[in-house]
Each structure stands twice: as C-alpha cells, then as structure tokens.
Amino acid sequence: ASMAGLHGSFNNSRQGLTLDVSGYSHRVPVLLQHLVDTAKTTTERLTPELFERLREKREKRFQEFLVSQPYRHATNALDLCLDRPKWDVLKRLECVKEVTLPDLQLFAKRLLHRFRLKGLVHGNVTSEEAKSLAQIVLDGFQPQPPLVLPEIRVSQLEQGESVYRFAGYNTEEAVSCTVSLYQF
C-alpha cells in the first residue's frame, strides 16, 4: 500500500481507537475496507506463540520505562494527575503479565461490537465520499451503540494541592525530577 501512496494505521488515544488512512482519494476506500476486514480477524488469527512474543515485547517496554530517565516518570505522573481515567505503568505491567490470548480475543470482540464512530475526513473528498467512508467502517463492524460512554476529562487542581507523589521506580538512578504545573 505504501508504494501506491497509501497509508493506514490503528492507534490508541485518549478518546479510543483511532484509524488513520491517507493517500490518493480514489484508492482510500479499498485500503479502508482492507483495514476493517483485517481488524475483525486479527485476534482470531493470532497463534499462541505470536501472542506470547507480542505480550513479552509489551512487558519489556513497560519494564524499560521503569528504568528510564526520571523526567519521563515525572511527565507520566503529570498525565496520571490530569487525565482521567488513566492507569499507571505498574498496573499496566501487572495486567500485561496476566493477560492470556483468550482474554485478548474476548476483549477485541467486545471492543469491536459496541462503539460510537466519529469521523474526520479532509482533503479532496466530497461529503458523499466522506459518508461512504464512514459507511465502510459501520458496515464492516456493524457496531451496537455503547452502553456507557466513558467520561474523559482533565482534572482541575485546587490551589496548594499536592496530587501525586511517588518514589522513583529505578532505585539505582542518582537523579530525581520534579514537575510543577500551573493552571490558569
């Protein structure tokens, strides 16, 4: 696809799952359909060996974060204070160690069964073409509306409030870090 000037990716974000597709407008629907079809069957095609490699890779990333520079820990702590809901790295690491392939498959099925679609299409595209792109996603996943929409918010800190304090994850690190946030 990239040789044909097309690009597509799934990414997680604060709002949920983001599907980005770009390229020549007459070929985007084909790529979008392919991405939707692939997303529906990816976890079903995962072998236990591949799942274990991916799980170990994610676990390693979390463990590398724990020994990273203190400023990374501090900015992560800032996110934990302000963005609700958000899990800290230790909880995420614990979950990744315990997750199984059947857990992931069940989660993926539930995730793709109930969601709300928001779309942004820009560029050399008519409104009808934009609606047909959204329809590709809706037809592909056939989602039910979510039972509950998570409340995503940024917290307002009270004056003089200390919200989150923690010892550094890496006991061998000689450097420490402090983050101060000023809200107006």
Distance CA 87, CA 179 (A): 19
Q: Where are the domains of the chain?
A: 2-154
With a cut of 80, say whether residue 163 has pLDDT above it.
Answer: no
Amino acid at 107: F
Q: Over the stretch 86-130, which tens digit does the pLDDT of each residue have?
A: 888 999 999 999 999 999 999 988 888 888 888 888 888 899 999
**What is the rounded average pLDDT for all residues in the chain?**
86
Amino acid at 76: N
DSSP-derived letter for residue 114 is: B
With a cut of 80, say whether residue 2 has pLDDT above it.
Answer: no
pLDDT at 174: 85
- The CA distances from residue 171 to 123, 164, 174, 175, in Å, are 50, 19, 8, 10
2-154 placed in CATH 3.30.830.10: yes
Average pLDDT over residues 157-182: 77
* Beta-carbon contacts of residue 106 (< 8 Å; ≥ 6 apart): none
Choose among 111, 118, 181, 173: nearest CA to 147.
111
Q: Over the stretch 21-58, which tens digit does the pLDDT of each residue have?
A: 988 778 899 999 999 999 888 888 899 999 999 999 99
Partner residues linked to 17 by β-bridges = 12
Does the pTM exceed 0.85? no
Structure tokens at 75: 């900015």
Choose among 55, 39, 59, 46: nearest CA to 111.
39
